[in-house]
Homo-oligomer: A and B are copies of this chain.
Amino acid sequence: MDFSALKKIIAGYNTFVVTSHIMPDGDSIGSVLAFTLALQRVGKNAIAVVKDDVPRKYAFLAGADDIKRDFDGKCDVIISLDCGDEERLGFENKLKTYAGIVVNIDHHKSNSLFGDINIIENQASSVGEIIYHIIKDMTSIDLDIAQCLYTSIITDTGSIRYSNSTPCCVRILAELIEKGVKPDFISRQVFERRSIESVNLIKLSLDTLELFDNNRIASISITKEIMEKSGAKEEDTDGIINYAREIEGVEVAILFKERGEKLVKVGFRSNEWVDVGKIAEDFGGGGHLRASGCTLKMPLDEARSQVLNVVKKYLAGEGAWME
């Protein structure tokens, strides 16, 4: 990774805004805070800006309370982290309205390269991993920064359960633990906090679990009634599909979320061989081999029946026939 252009910018300017995408996650918040803290440590006037609510579970991170929701001033440099395009940052105007220089640091292949400098490392597990490499030559990584970087990496690797858990990022985790990070403390904050409403949602959702096609398909349907009855938030539906996906023998898991009388969001996951990206495409959606989604403008019952028919055909090896 070559950071020489970025280093010159850091050396040459004084006011920095570090920002990331709306609907922030552990990697975006962790890397924004780590980089902001590091810039402050080397004497820069740096603030963190995220134009959305910061999930409460990241409130324990140093600097989280100082994240600004709004920014319409001027600065020398805006640094965008973990964001594929400028729009998803949520700023009212083009970034160049606010800053002389735009730096774009990301680990997603599909980045629109909107910066004056673009550092796109798609081999990195997380932006936290890239920021680690930048910071370690800038200043010493203290416990505050270490906790932010650790949070970035474990959230984007699912606590090293995902395929992006490379030797490099795992060694960085080891080093951050050496700096004083308590893995159990961070994991409790990030992974092990549920609202009672989210537990209600799990319970009511599991009541709708159905198996088809010799248990190779499992579906869960979250109706509007279930959302209301549980009192859960939209973010609480994250992960519910895994209860279906993890059942032994299941190849395709489907989550139906009823959003209106004629509006259903559908999520797909597969375990070993079915390309659920293609299935979602059949319905005008998209995604990857193992995770995808689409939106259907029809009642829940109709969406369920149409989607199940198509998934059954894919499982019967008739997917190609569909095209």
- 8 Å CB contacts to B: which residues of A152-170? 154, 157-163, 165-168, 170
Q: Residue A140 at the B interface, CB < 8 A?
A: no
Is A178 engaged at the interface, CB distance under 8 Å to the other chain? Answer: yes
A192 interface residue (CB < 8 Å to B): yes
A207: contacting residue among B171, B193, B203, B209, CB under 8 A: B203
A248 touches B194 (CB 8 A): yes
CB within 8 Å for A194 and B160 given contacts A165-B184, A174-B174? no
Given A170-B177, A174-B174, decide whether A199 and B206 contact each other with a Cβ distance below 8 A: yes
- Given contacts A160-B159, A271-B188, A196 and B211 within 8 Å (CB-CB): yes
A242 touches B192 (CB 8 A): yes
- Let me know if A231 is at the binding interface, CB within 8 A: no
Whether A191 is near chain B, meaning CB under 8 Å from some CB there, is: yes
Contacts of A162 in B (CB 8 A): 183-184, 187
Query: A199, B167: Cβ atoms under 8 Å?
Result: no
In the assembled complex, the CB of A246 is this many whole angstroms from the nearest CB of chain B, namely 5
Collect the chain B residues with CB atoms within 8 Å of residue A160's CB: 154, 159-160, 173, 183, 187
Interface residues on A, range: 35 or more
| A139 proximal to B (CB < 8 A) | no
A247 in the interface (beta carbon within 8 A)? yes
**Which B-chain residue is minimally distant from A249 (CB atoms)?**
B196
Choose one: B178, B206, B271; the contact of A167 (CB below 8 Å). Answer: B178
A215 at the A/B interface (Cβ < 8 Å)? yes
Given A199-B209, A209-B199, the answer on whether A167 and B175 have CB atoms closer than 8 Å is yes
With contacts A196-B211, A202-B202 known, is A167 near B161, CB below 8 A?
A: no
Alpha-carbon separation in the docked complex, A105 to B108 (Å): 45
Residues of B within 8 A of A242 (CB): 192
A187 x B161 contact (CB < 8 A): yes
| Interface presence of A182 (CB below 8 A) | yes
- Tell whether A243 is near chain B: CB-to-CB under 8 Å: yes
**Which residues of B sit under 8 angstroms from A192, Cβ to Cβ?**
161, 242, 245-246
What's the minimum C-beta distance from A217 to chain B, rounded to whole angstroms?
13
**Residue in B closest to A207 when the chains form the complex, CB atoms:** B203
In the complex the two chains form, is B196's CB within 8 Å of A206's CB?
A: no
A and B contact pairs by CB, cutoff 8 A, 20 listed? A157-B183, A160-B187, A161-B183, A161-B192, A163-B183, A163-B184, A170-B171, A170-B173, A174-B174, A188-B271, A192-B242, A194-B247, A195-B248, A196-B248, A199-B206, A199-B209, A199-B247, A202-B202, A203-B206, A206-B206
